[in-house]
């Protein structure tokens, strides 16, 4: 098969601008010669066409839901983008758009339509529902409201369903009790008994039947990774009596770990399946509801991810639910590379991770997970306790702001709120803190011109993929060197968009996709501004159409310098907006 690369230059109407002076004065920013076709030409479009690839690249599986946003329902040839991004682009231009994505856990504090809308306005890209809590009907209600929000108001908020996993945790308190305080020295009973009426005082239900057998007198029992600690003092049949050694607040369904002689007791845990029978029912629910992401708790190995992916593929033909591996156990760290390779994205689930490894090792684990994900081109979310104090207080601690900054500086794809948005008193304020800290840090490194020199390994498995990868690496580098205003990528399944995101360029990446579900999924990835747009294989007409639509809405201005990349034509073009 002939696999030739052809480079061509196209020309268009002259207009004096920055690009021209840059292009004509630059030494040679590309390794191949650029032939001037017309001395008058100002717009140069350098196109590398690899024709054999056109048909074999990404196929558009799944048509996605037929979104009828207010902005497009009257005109199928229109462009769909959310009002927040539109306003941001109009007011601040390209460079100031936020690159780090934001995930909010939805709970009682945020499950109303107006509350969800306020989060969307505040920059929520993904709504997470945690199947540890609430009923399926409750979660269905949230999904419906997010869908309605997307359809009525033009958002593309994606839904992530997080499974419970089969780790050991406390039950609900019953009787509408939402928390309990354990005081120093108090005796509490942890029981596997099935209580038919209200729980006796200072009693906690444990979900794992083997609990009373597994623990030993003298063991240390950690609630929620050490937020509250107990010492086991006596075993009485199904009841385990414990003395509180570190007081604190007990929350329903908090995770339990037990430690013996300073190490985590894991033998029995290891026999529990990663995906429990309840999780499978929740997964069926997620597939039926068409969620965008399914996050799997306590992943131990790549096999479980592969298993789930083939299950989803068989169950939902053509759907593109992405599987997110939660890295929150010792085993998941041991098998990190294999797990990341197998999944579609990962979460640094610091809550449980901090209960399984010493706390002082969590930051280096986070750094490693973020780096491996970036190298293997999988989106990564940094989660848990980012703004924990904001569950109760309207301002974050300085330490929390520093932690958020560090995750942004590591160029994680996304930051996540848990309790802060699910049941805290200041969900919108917490989101505002994530947003403003992200924007500030991102601006800072652009001002300092800190391009990151991370070694990105080749990850392609075919020659065609290698071309896409090289094009994206080059386009991102060109974008930085030429200081372009934006990269445009026309992408069917989102692959080219994610390869560009992986390079973390200085400018935003406008990702145009014809599929609503792909648009939602791209919402999790760093630096991507996903638009839904019908486009063809004719790049010239795609670009003209895009420029016209974006200009009409005031989202770009004439003269802006843009690099366009496409996965149909495998091309790079540099041009000014006419
Ligand atoms: N669907 C829900 N219904 C009720 N409470 C919830 C729900 N989702 C989350 N929460 C509350 O928010 C807290 C933080 O959420 P999250 O971090 O997702 O769970 P967990 O603390 O179990 O790891 C939970 O402990 C719980 O109190
Ligand atoms: C995000 C986490 O998982 P969950 O909230 O489901 O425990 C975590 O442990 O940090
Ligand atoms: K969970
Ligand atoms: Mg967890």
Per-residue model confidence (pLDDT) at position 77? 62
Q: Are 101 and 84 in contact (CB under 8 A)?
A: no
Neighbours of 570 (CB within 10 A): 23
Pocket of ligand 2, candidates 253, 356, 384, 403: which has the most ligand atoms within 8 Å of its Cβ, to mutate? 384
Element (H, E) at 19: helix 18-25
Element (H, E) at 220: strand 220-223
Q: Mean pLDDT over residues 138-143, rounded?
A: 98
Burial of residue 135, with CB atoms counted within 10 A of its CB: 0-12 exposed, 13-18 middle, 19 or more buried? exposed
CA distances from 5 to 464, 475, 477 (A): 12, 16, 20
Tokens encoding 256: 């339990």
Burial of residue 235, with CB atoms counted within 10 A of its CB: 0-12 exposed, 13-18 middle, 19 or more buried? middle
- Ligand 2 pocket, residue 349 CB under 6 Å: yes
Q: What is the ipTM of this complex?
A: 0.98
Contacts of 525 (CB under 8 A, 6+ apart): 101, 379, 413, 497, 498, 501
Within its chain, how far is the Cα of 65 from the centroid?
21
Q: Tell me the per-residue pLDDT of 352-395, one tens digit each, with 9 for 90 and over.
A: 999 888 899 999 999 999 999 999 999 999 999 999 999 999 99
Nearest atom in ligand 1 to the alpha carbon of residue 111 is: 1
pLDDT over 60 at 11, yes or no: no
Confidence of residue 271 (pLDDT cuts 50, 70, 90): low
Q: Mean pLDDT over residues 415-433, rounded?
A: 98
Contacts of 234 (CB under 8 A, 6+ apart): 217, 240, 241
Whole-number Å distance, alpha carbon 173 to ligand 3 midpoint, is 18
Edge-to-edge strand ranges of the sheet holding 203-205: 203-205, 187-191, 239-246, 228-236, 220-223, 256-260, 263-264
Q: How far apart are CA 525 and CA 528, in angstroms?
A: 6
Tokens encoding 396: 């974050």
Domains, the chain, with CATH or none = 6-80+452-576 (3.40.1380.20), 99-167+272-447 (3.20.20.60), 180-268 (2.40.33.10)
Tokens encoding 139: 């979660």
Q: 398-409 vs 362-375: helix axis angle to the nearest 10?
A: 30
pLDDT over 60 at 303, yes or no: yes
Neighbours of 233 (CB within 10 A): 13
Residue 209 gets which letter from DSSP? T
Nearest atom in ligand 2 to the alpha carbon of residue 416 is: 1
Q: Ligand 1: residues whose CB is within 6 Å?
A: 105, 107-108, 130, 132-134, 251-253, 351, 418-419, 422-423
Q: Tell me the per-residue pLDDT of 13-65, one tens digit each, with 9 for 90 and over.
A: 333 333 333 333 332 223 222 222 232 333 333 333 333 222 233 333 332 33
Tokens encoding 288: 């039926």
Element (H, E) at 144: helix 136-153
Q: Are 511 and 530 in contact (CB under 8 A)?
A: yes
Whole-number Å distance, alpha carbon 383 to ligand 2 midpoint, is 7
Angle at CA of residue 314, ends 310 and 317, nearest 5°: 120
Work out the percent of the chain whose per-residue pLDDT is above 90: 63
Report the first-to-last Cα separation within the chain, whole angstroms: 38
Per-residue model confidence (pLDDT) at position 385? 97
Least confident of 282-291, 308-317, 477-486, 502-511: 308-317
- Ligand 2 pocket, residue 297 CB under 6 Å: yes
């Amino acid at each position: 098969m002939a696999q030739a690369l052809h480079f061509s230059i196209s020309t268009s109407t002259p207009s004096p601008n920055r690009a021209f002076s840059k292009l004509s004065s630059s030494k040679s920013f590309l390794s191949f010669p650029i032939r001037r076709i017309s001395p008058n030409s100002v717009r140069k479009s350098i196109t590398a066409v690899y024709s054999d690839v056109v048909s074999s690249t990404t196929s558009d599986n799944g048509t996605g839901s037929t979104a009828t946003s207010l902005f497009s329902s009257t005109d199928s040839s229109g462009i769909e983008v959310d009002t927040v991004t539109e306003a941001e682009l109009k007011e601040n231009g390209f460079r100031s758009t936020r690159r780090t994505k934001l995930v909010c856990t939805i709970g009682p504090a945020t499950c109303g339509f107006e509350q969800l809308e306020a989060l969307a306005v505040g920059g929520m890209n993904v709504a997470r529902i945690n199947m540890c809590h609430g009923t399926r009907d409750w979660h269905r209600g949230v999904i419906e409201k997010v869908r309605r929000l997307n359809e009525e108001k033009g958002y593309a908020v994606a839904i992530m369903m997080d499974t419970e996993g089969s780790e050991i945790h406390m039950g609900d308190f019953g009787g509408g009790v939402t928390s309990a305080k354990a005081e120093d020295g108090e005796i509490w009973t942890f029981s596997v008994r099935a209580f038919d009426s209200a729980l006796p005082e200072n009693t906690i239900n444990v979900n794992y039947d083997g609990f009373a057998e597994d623990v030993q007198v003298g063991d240390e029992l950690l609630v929620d990774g050490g937020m509250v600690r107990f010492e086991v003092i006596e075993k009485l049949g199904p009841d385990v009596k414990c003395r509180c050694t570190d007081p604190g607040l007990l929350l329903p369904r908090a995770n339990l770990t037990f430690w013996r002689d300073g190490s985590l007791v894991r033998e029995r845990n290891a026999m529990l399946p990663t995906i429990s029978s309840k999780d499978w029912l929740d997964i069926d629910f997620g597939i039926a509801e068409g969620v965008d992401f399914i996050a799997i708790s306590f992943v131990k190995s790549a096999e479980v991810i592969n298993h789930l992916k083939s299950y989803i593929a068989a169950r939902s033909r053509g759907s593109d639910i992405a599987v997110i591996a939660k890295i929150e156990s010792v085993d998941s760290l041991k098998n990190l590379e294999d797990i990341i390779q197998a999944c579609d994205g990962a979460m640094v689930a610091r809550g449980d991770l901090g209960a399984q490894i010493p706390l002082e090792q969590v930051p280096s684990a986070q750094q490693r997970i973020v780096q491996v994900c970036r190298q293997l081109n999988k989106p990564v979310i940094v989660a848990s306790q980012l703004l924990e104090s904001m569950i109760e207080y309207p301002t974050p601690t300085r330490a929390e702001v520093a932690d958020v900054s560090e995750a942004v500086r590591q160029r994680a794809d996304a930051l996540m709120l848990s309790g802060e948005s699910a049941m805290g008193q200041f969900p919108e304020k917490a989101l505002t803190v994530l947003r403003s800290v992200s924007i500030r840090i991102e601006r800072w490194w652009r001002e300092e011109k800190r391009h990151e020199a991370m070694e990105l390994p080749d990850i392609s498995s075919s020659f065609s993929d290698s071309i896409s990868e090289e094009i994206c690496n080059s386009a991102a580098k060109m974008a930085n060197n030429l200081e372009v205003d934006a990269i445009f990528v026309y992408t069917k399944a989102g692959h080219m968009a994610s390869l560009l995101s992986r390079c973390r360029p200085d400018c935003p990446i406008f990702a145009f996709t014809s599929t609503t579900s792909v648009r939602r999924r791209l919402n999790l990835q760093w630096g991507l501004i996903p638009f839904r747009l019908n486009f063809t294989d004719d790049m010239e007409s795609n670009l003209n159409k895009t420029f016209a639509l974006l200009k009409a809405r005031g989202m770009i201005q004439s003269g802006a310098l843009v690099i366009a990349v496409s996965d149909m034509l495998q091309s790079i073009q540099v041009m000014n907006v006419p």
